[in-house]
């Protein structure tokens, strides 16, 4: 597996081919999820082969936005299945990676540890200092796509989402829960 080549390929496509209105689901978000997945995985003691699968899934989890915004995870899997063999990934590798990608679909329902890690990485920002900056980008994207009509509507959605969200890994709970709760309380005021 040539993770370095797969990374260069997909980040290049995300940087150059995504519609400009995708202010949140873009190469910056993908790089952020990749970094969070790596940090969580290292702290959770994930072995090298599984780490390769996880990081590849993090890179490709939103690649489907190149094709469509709704049910983009299926398109993300299709892009992974089409391109990853060229980077030395086997069918078995791609099957695991596709399952990890599908685990990021909202509402998240991870079934195993690697799925828990990618889910936590995808929403890592909920418990960070840059929560409101990242949320603004999500609001701009959703407004551009017409899925929301006002800031007030977005804030209600955010409050409801944070109210139901929970991290799955012990690492994310330890590192992100307190700040997530603080962000949630700020949203309520």
> What's the whole-model pTM score?
0.96
170-188 and 27-44 helices, crossing angle to 10°:
130
Q: How far apart are CA 12 and CA 27, in angstroms?
A: 8
**Residue range 51-66: mean pLDDT, rounded:** 98
pLDDT band at 180, cuts 50/70/90? very high
Check: CB of residue 184 under 8 Å from CB of residue 163: yes
Q: What ranges do the domains of the chain cover? A: 3-188
DSSP states along 63-113:
GGGGT-STTHHHHHHHHHHHHGGGGT--HHHHHHHHHHHHHTSSSP---SH
Residue with tokens 């939103």: 62
pLDDT confidence of residue 48:
97
Q: What is the pLDDT of residues 94-133, one digit of tens each?
A: 999 999 999 999 999 999 999 999 999 999 999 999 999 9
Q: How far apart are CA 69 and CA 24, in angstroms?
A: 12
pLDDT confidence of residue 41:
98
Q: What's the fold here for domain 3-188?
A: Hypothetical protein af1432 (1.10.3210)
């Amino acid at each position: 597996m040539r993770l370095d080549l797969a990374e260069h390929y997909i980040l290049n496509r995300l940087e150059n081919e995504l519609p400009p209105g995708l202010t949140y689901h873009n190469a910056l978000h993908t790089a952020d999820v990749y970094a969070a997945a790596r940090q969580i995985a290292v702290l959770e003691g994930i072995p090298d082969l599984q780490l390769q699968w996880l990081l590849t899934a993090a890179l490709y989890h939103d690649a489907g936005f190149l094709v469509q915004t709704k049910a983009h995870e299926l398109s993300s899997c299709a892009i992974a299945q089409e391109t990853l063999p060229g980077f030395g990934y086997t069918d078995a590798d791609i099957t695991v990676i596709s399952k990890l990608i599908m685990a990021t679909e909202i509402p998240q329902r991870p079934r195993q540890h690697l799925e828990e890690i990618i889910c936590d990485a995808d929403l890592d920002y909920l418990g960070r200092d840059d929560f409101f900056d990242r949320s603004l980008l999500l609001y701009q994207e959703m407004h551009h796509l017409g899925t929301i009509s006002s800031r007030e509507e977005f804030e209600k959605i955010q409050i409801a989402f944070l109210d139901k969200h929970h991290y799955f890994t012990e690492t994310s709970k330890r590192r992100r829960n307190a700040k997530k709760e603080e962000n949630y309380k700020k949203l309520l005021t």
